[in-house]
Amino acid sequence: MHILITGGAGFIGSHVVRRFVNSYPEYRITNLDKLTYAGNLENLRDIESRNNYRFIRGDITDGDAMLELFRKERFDGVIHLAAESHVDRSIANPTEFVMTNVVGTVNLLNAARAIWKDAYEGKLFYHVSTDEVYGSLEGGGGMFTETTPYDPHSPYSASKASSDHFVRSWRDTYGLPVVISNCSNNYGAFQFPEKLIPLFINNIRNEEPLPVYGKGENVRDWLWVVDHARAIDVIYHGGTQGETYNIGGHNEWRNIDLVRLLCSIMDRKLGRPAGESEKLIAYVTDRAGHDLRYAIDSTKLQGELGWVPSIRFEEGLEITVDWYLMNQEWLDGVTSGEYKNYYRRMYGG
């Protein structure tokens, strides 16, 4: 079994690569990644010399290169995570999101179909997507199920929704064996510190402002990244072809409540007086088109495949804070250079 994992040097991808390399020594795992600002081979140091693992630097927007790679390597399966993933960047530069998330996904679908040549037995194209395609749960109630109509609002979520449609169209038109999962917000080690939790951990550590968008009342449903990687494994091996699975932690938090919890954990770990880090909270202009609430109903995944989250959020957040505090070199490395320039352009300073 030779599996291509795209975007394996990113946050979630590195956890998926690690899980597959460790759990399936009999598989060959190829990680294809362009190494954008978000991709970092440091995330995979612990498994990079394993016999069943190989890294290839490549760009999924290059259709010819993808076709050539698939023809040469004859992958049996694809787990596709490579994407531009940050909503704020999609607002600043939407075209890049169309290129990577839409065109890149179509290139991979074309390449998979070309080498599998309609002889699909034992093959699988697994597309990793997001709950943001379903839009925003306004008015308090309800949860996203697999049949919730798509209603994306940001260029990021529109590009992911589009890629999901293309994957399903390859299933319906060409019979390609596909599976899609839509997951809620992930947190954990190796997340690039532009996303809420690692950004705020880093800013608290450096005693810098914590830019809470709007009133901080937006709600997200947080899942430990290790549990997401396990869900992807469970669905890859046990899911039904052609189906969609929602993945979520049943763990909704208003941003401001999460930020306050994070501040209190950080105060304790850094030996600062209780309440000290909360003084860093700065309410700033809201994100354009900011979705109010996401909440995932993962009954289908839990019922059919027996997956459940392994850890309570408070515990997962403690582990995550510990990881960032113990890996300050990693944080410093990814917050220098290009990222700092981008951050200045976005937020000033």
Catalytic residue list: 131-132, 156
SS3 213: strand
Q: How far is CA 187 from CA 15, 93, 115, 150, 221, in A?
A: 11, 24, 36, 24, 10
Q: Which of 79, 87, 178, 263 binds ligand DAU (CB under 6 A)?
A: 87
Residue 248, binding choice from ligand DAU, ligand NAD, none, Cβ under 5 to 8 Å by partner class: none
Of the ranges 6-14, 109-117, 256-264, 321-329, which one interacts with ligand NAD (CB under 6 A)? 6-14
Residue 212, binding choice from ligand DAU, ligand NAD, none, Cβ under 5 to 8 Å by partner class: ligand DAU
Q: Which of 44, 212, 247, 266 binds ligand DAU (CB under 6 A)?
A: 212
Instruction: In angstroms, give the least distance from the CB of 196 to ligand DAU.
Output: 4
Contact (Cβ atoms closer than 8 angstroms) between residue 282 and residue 330: no
The rounded distance, in Å, linking the Cα atoms of 301 and 115 is: 30
Q: Is 40 among the residues that bind ligand DAU (CB under 6 A)?
A: no
- Considering only residues 110-149, where is the footprint of ligand NAD by CB under 6 A? 128, 130
Contact (Cβ atoms closer than 8 angstroms) between residue 292 and residue 218: yes
Q: Is 160 among the residues that bind ligand NAD (CB under 6 A)?
A: yes
Closer to ligand NAD at the Cβ: 10 or 280? 10
The answer for residues whose C-beta is within 8 angstroms of residue 345's C-beta and 6 or more apart is 92
62: Cα within 13 Å, side-chain hemisphere: 12
Q: What region, left, alpha or beta, does residue 75 occupy, with left being phi > 0 and alpha being psi -120 to 50 degrees? A: beta
Q: Which of 3, 4, 13, 334 binds ligand NAD (CB under 6 A)?
A: 13
Of the ranges 34-42, 111-119, 269-277, 279-287, which one interacts with ligand NAD (CB under 6 A)? 34-42
Closer to ligand NAD at the Cβ: 177 or 248? 248
The rounded distance, in Å, linking the Cα atoms of 348 and 320 is: 28
x/- letters, 237..266, toward ligand DAU (CB under 6 A): ------------------x-----------
Query: What tokens does 283 get?
Result: 């309410």
Q: Which among 280, 277, 250, 284 has a CA at the least distance from the CA of 261?
A: 277
Where along the sequence are the contacts to ligand DAU (CB under 6 A)? 85-87, 130-132, 184-185, 195-196, 199, 211-213, 218, 220, 255, 287, 294
